Structure 1
C-alpha cells in the first residue's frame, strides 16, 4: 500500500527561532493544522502529557491512518529534522520488508511531491523497526524504490523510553535516492520537501501498537 504521509512532534533542545520551524508546536495549536489520512480503518491520535513531556499518543488496532501536513520545507535553509518518540507496544515477529509485514509502531516521513509527474514523487520513511537492526534502508514492499524505509530505531531499542532523533534530511535523500552528480543537480532534485506525516499502522499484520511522538522541528544545524 502506497502511503503518502508524514508527521511530527517534540524535541527538548534549544534552537534558534530564526533557523528552526516547529511543525507541531503542541503546546500551542497542537495537531490542529494536520489533516487525517485514512488507508484502512482509523488509528487514534490524541495529545496529552506522557512521561515528562507533551506528546501525541497513537493507538492502532488493525488500522492504518496518519496525520499529514502539506508545507514546503527548504532543506537548503533547514536540512535537519529533530523529533522524539517512544514506543510502548512494538510489532514483533514481522517481516517488515514484505507486504504482510509492512507495519510500524512509529514512523515519520517526508515527501517530495512530483505533481503531475507522479513518477518523480519520492518518500523517505524514518521508521521504528521492531524486527530489524538500526541503520538499515530498503524499498517499500508496496511502492518499490519510490518509497525508501530507514530504520532510525531497531529491534534493540527499549520500549517505554523517550529517544531524541536528528537527521539531515537533505543528505539522507541523496544517500537513499542517489547522488545526482553535482551540487546543482542535487539541489534541483532534493532541495524541497512538500509533505510531512506521522503514522502508526497495523493493518497488514492485524496487530496492535501504542506509541508517542514529540514536536517535530526543522533546523539549520
Structure 2
C-alpha cells in the first residue's frame, strides 16, 4: 500500500482533479515558441489560460497576482506559511517542443527547507512540468494503480513530473527524487542565497532531462505549473516568474 499511496502526492492529486473540471485551454501562439504568460489577464486576475492549484488539506493558500515590471507582465507569488500553485494545461509532444525557459527572482531561501524530507519540501520558487499517463504503454502494476485512481476521481493522474526548483541547500545542478514519490524529480536549477533579489534566467531540455531521470522517452506534456510554498516549514517567501516559454529549439549549451 505504501507504493500505491506514493503516487498520490498533494500535487498530482490536485492536478488531476483540476483537469477533470476544466476544459483544456491552450496558449494561442502555437508556433516555434509558446508564451505561457501572455500579456493579458484571464479569470480571477491570473494570466489567461491559468488556473489555481489548491490542495484539500491545506487551507492557507499562496497569493498569486499579475504585476508589470520594466514593461514585462509577470506572476508574483506571496507565500505566508501557505501552499498553492498556478497551473496551465497543455498537450504537446516533448520531442517537438523540447525546451522550456523562464526567468525568476526570490526574496529569500527557506532556512528550514530540506529537499530530502517531507517536512522540508518547501521552495521559494519551483516550476513543474507534468507528463501524461498512457495506459497502452504502462506495466501491469501501473495499470492497476492508475486504473484504481481513475475509478475514484474519473481521470488519470500525471504519470510523472520534473520539478525545477530554486533549492534551499541541494547544490545547483544536482537532482533527487521528491520525498513523496519517485515519479517526481527535483532539479536544483538555482541554489542558495547568492542570487537572492536578482533575476535569474534558465533554460532546460525537457526531453533530455526526462530521459536522464526516468530512463525512457517522455510521454506528452500534460501541463506546467508554478508554485511558491512554505506550509511545511512555516516560513514566508516572495517570488516572481517571468518569460515562461516552451520552444521547439534546443537549449544552447
Superposition TM-score tier, normalisation by shorter sequence: 0.7 to 0.9
| TM-score of the aligned structures, taking structure 2 as reference length | 0.73
Q: Which has the higher helix share?
A: 2
Q: Which structure would you say has the larger RCO, counting Cα contacts within 8 Å and 6 or more residues apart? A: 1
Q: 2:159 aligns with which of 121, 131, 138?
A: 121
CA distance in 2, matches of 1:146, 1:191: 13
Aligned-pair RMSD on alpha carbons?
Answer: 2.1
Q: Which residue matches 1:159?
A: 196
- 8 A Cα contact 1:19 1:77, kept in partner: no
Deviation digits for residues 120-163 of structure 1, max 9, x if unmatched?
Answer: 71011000012221011111111x21111101001154111111
CA distance in 1, matches of 2:62, 2:117: 21
CA distance in 2, matches of 1:157, 1:34: 31
- The 5 Å alignment of 1:24-39 reads 24-25=37-38, 27-29=39-41, 31-39=47-55
- 8 A Cα contact 1:83 1:216, kept in partner: yes
Name the SS of the counterpart of 1:89 in structure 2: coil
Q: Which residue matches 2:34?
A: 21
Q: Which residue matches 1:109?
A: 128
Does residue 193 of the first structure (1) align with residue 206 of the second (2)? no
Q: How many residue pairs align between the two structures? A: 200
Q: Segments of 4+ in structure 1 off by > 3 A?
A: 50-53
CA distance in 1, matches of 2:73, 2:36: 14
Name the SS of the counterpart of 1:172 in structure 2: helix
Name the SS of the counterpart of 1:77 in structure 2: coil
CA distance in 2, matches of 1:191, 1:121: 8
Name the SS of the counterpart of 2:118 in structure 1: coil
CA distance in 2, matches of 1:18, 1:95: 39
- 8 A Cα contact 1:133 1:156, kept in partner: no
Q: Which residue matches 1:10?
A: none
Higher alpha-carbon Rg:
2
- 8 A Cα contact 2:109 2:193, kept in partner: no
Alpha-carbon offset, residue 203 of structure 1 = 0.9
| TM-score of the aligned structures, taking structure 1 as reference length | 0.83
Q: Which residue matches 1:209?
A: 237
Q: Which has the higher strand share?
A: 1
CA distance in 1, matches of 2:224, 2:188: 17
Alpha-carbon offset, residue 115 of structure 1 = 6.4
- 8 A Cα contact 2:169 2:191, kept in partner: yes
Alpha-carbon offset, residue 51 of structure 1 = 6.1
CA distance in 2, matches of 1:57, 1:105: 11
Alpha-carbon offset, residue 191 of structure 1 = 4.4
Q: Which residue matches 2:68?
A: 49
